[in-house]
Amino acid sequence: MGDALTGKSKYKTTVVATDVTFGEGPVWCPDGTVVCTAVATGRLHRIWPDERRTEVLAVTSGGPNACAPTADGGFLVTQNGGIDFSIHDLPGFDSLPAHVPQTPGLQYVAPDGAVSHLATSDAQGNPFVGPNDLVTMPDGSLYFTDPGHHPLPPEPAGRVFRLDRDGTVHQVAGPFKYCNGIARDHQDRMLIVEDNGLMYVNPDGTTEWLYPDFGGVAGDGMAVDVDGNAWVCCPADSKIRVVSAKGTIEDIIEFDDWSFPTNCCFGGADFKTLFVTMSVARTVVMMEGLTSSGVPVLPWPGLAS
């Protein structure tokens, strides 16, 4: 792969992994690797950015949409159940092997790669539809979005859930038109990508817009830096929009057409490198030279004993 630049970014942008089929949900790990999902093939990949080396960490089947680290060295995965990519008009995705359906929910991937389900429904027995993204908060609770699948139903049906330490899952907020990415900001507030904008979700389930509309372009996953800027991936026009804590667009980073950036995370020795999954390009890239470091991702502590 070399160190060839890619895209139109003002940052040095280098491909560090290839053959990640519809990559999503990257996370930086203490050992200097990046772990991400491959939605179309039902896998987790571990990437050594400096070596440009990739290996399959786990096979989840279905559609693993995002992952988050756990305190024991494993990962939690939002499992959307699987997507039939043949119905979507994406370049090069017309010859994928058939996906292997899986029960939508939260999966636990042990350090040795063993996969099990942690939850498939909320405390009231309502099944999940298509969990998408997840984040751990300082109190150890884990929040995740469940927007469902495209095509969207006529009425909003997306939900945000909370996994408590006792293993129960409760709906926190909803319905949303399409609640997608979720992140913890620099002040420990929870942000979600909702439809074409960016929204705060408060612990009591109330919401408020940070940025209501990216101009008709939907966001996907995101990461937040210590200055409160949300780096929001927008697949449809292959851009990252940087939204300040004041609700202003501070920067728009362009990539090659049909890169389709889906999600990103901060990493590197100083947390000033951004790793981005380019889903249609089937690559993971790193952007170096950022001026602000990222808000550290908190590992999920596990269920209380």
pLDDT in tens, 203-212: 999 999 999 9
Residue 13 gets the label, from left (phi > 0), alpha (psi -120 to 50) or beta, of beta
Residue 299 pLDDT: 98
Q: Which CATH superfamily groups domain 12-288?
A: TolB, C-terminal domain (2.120.10.30)
CA distance 80 to 129: 7
Q: What is the pLDDT of residue 4?
A: 40
Adjacent-strand bridge partners of 143: 135, 162
β-pair type (105-109, 75-79) = antiparallel
pLDDT of residue 2: 34
> Domain locations in the chain?
12-288
Residue type, 276: V
Place of tokens 């000033």: 272
Residue 89: predicted pLDDT:
73
Q: Tell me how far apart the alpha carbons of residues 219 and 5 are, in angstroms, rounded to a whole number.
A: 24
| φ and ψ of 10, to 5 deg | -80, -10
Cβ contact 146:122 at 8 Å: no
Type of residue at 190: M
Residues with Cβ within 8 Å of 235's Cβ and at least 6 positions away in sequence, in order, are 218, 220, 260, 261, 262, 279, 280
Q: Which two tokens stand for residue 237?
A: 């026009």
The upper half-sphere exposure of residue 126, i.e. CA atoms within 13 Å in the direction of its Cβ, equals 11
- pLDDT tens digit at each of 305 positions of the chain: 333 444 567 899 999 999 999 999 999 999 999 999 999 999 999 999 999 999 999 999 999 999 999 999 999 999 999 988 777 777 777 777 778 899 999 999 999 999 999 999 999 999 999 999 999 999 999 999 999 988 888 999 999 999 999 999 999 999 999 999 999 999 999 999 999 999 999 999 999 999 999 999 999 999 999 999 999 999 999 999 999 999 999 999 999 988 999 999 999 999 999 999 999 999 999 999 999 999 999 999 999 97
For tokens 């389900």, name the residue.
Answer: 117
pLDDT in tens, 43-57: 999 999 999 999 999
